[in-house]
C-alpha cells in the first residue's frame, strides 16, 4: 500500500488554496491542500505497525511549528507546478530529514522545498498565464501547525488519513 506524511494547514488557508486548485490542479478531488513532509512510499500492513510506533516517538521530539507563507512561486523549468511558498525553517527541515532517516522509502527524490501546491500539470502557455496572475497576489499568512498525518492511498487514487500525530505531546 502507498503512504505519505503531510501537514494540513488551517481551514482558512485550505479554502484559499482550493479556490485555485479546483481550476488548476487535477489532484483537487484526491487530497486536500497540504505540505508534504515525506513523499509516497510503499509499506506492508506489518511494516506500517512499526512505522506508526516510530512516528509516535518521533513526533514527541518536535514542537508545533510556525508556518509562514509569503508568496506564490513555481517549479518551472523543472515542471509546471505553481504553489504557495512556505518559508523554510530549521524545525521544518529537521522534521523532514528525520522522517526520511528513520522511516522506509529511501532518500528524497528532490531537495525539500516546503510548499502547498495550487496548480500542476499545466501546459506551458497555461502555466505562464496563471503564474503571471497569481504571483502578483499579496499573500502573507502565518499559522502554527501542531500535527502531522500519515496518509494512505485508496484504490481510486484519493488519499485518506491513516493516523494523526500531535507534535510535542506525550
Q: For residue 84, report the phi and psi dihedrals to the nearest 5 degrees.
A: -80, 125
Distances (CA, A) of 136 to 57, 67, 89: 42, 21, 24
Catalytic residue among 34, 96, 127, 149: 34
* CA-based nearest residue to 37, from 11, 60, 55: 55
Residue 27 among the catalytic residues? no
Catalytic residue among 96, 115, 127, 149: 115
Residue 39 among the catalytic residues? no
> Residues 128-133: contacts with CB within 8 Å, 24+ apart?
130/24, 130/82, 131/72, 131/74, 131/76, 131/82
Catalytic (active-site) positions = 34, 115
Amino acid at each position: 500500500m502507498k503512504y505519505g506524511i503531510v501537514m494540513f494547514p488551517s481551514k482558512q488557508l485550505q479554502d484559499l488554496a482550493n479556490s485555485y486548485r479546483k481550476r488548476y490542479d487535477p489532484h483537487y478531488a484526491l487530497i486536500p491542500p497540504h505540505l508534504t513532509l515525506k513523499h509516497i512510499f510503499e509499506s506492508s500492513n506489518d511494516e506500517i505497525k512499526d512505522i506508526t510506533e516510530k512516528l509516535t516517538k518521533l513526533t514527541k521530539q518536535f514542537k508545533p511549528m510556525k508556518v509562514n507563507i509569503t508568496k506564490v512561486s513555481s517549479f518551472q523549468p523543472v515542471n509546471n507546478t505553481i504553489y504557495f511558498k512556505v518559508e523554510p525553517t530549521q524545525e521544518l527541515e529537521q522534521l523532514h530529514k528525520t522522517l526520511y532517516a528513520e522511516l522506509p522509502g529511501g532518500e528524497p527524490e528532490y531537495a525539500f522545498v516546503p510548499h502547498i501546491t495550487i496548480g500542476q500539470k499545466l501546459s506551458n502557455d497555461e502555466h505562464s498565464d496563471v503564474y503571471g496572475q497569481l504571483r502578483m497576489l499579496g499573500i502573507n499568512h502565518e499559522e502554527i501547525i501542531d500535527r502531522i498525518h500519515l496518509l494512505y492511498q485508496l484504490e481510486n487514487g484519493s488519499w485518506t488519513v491513516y493516523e494523526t500525530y500531535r507534535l510535542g505531546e506525550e
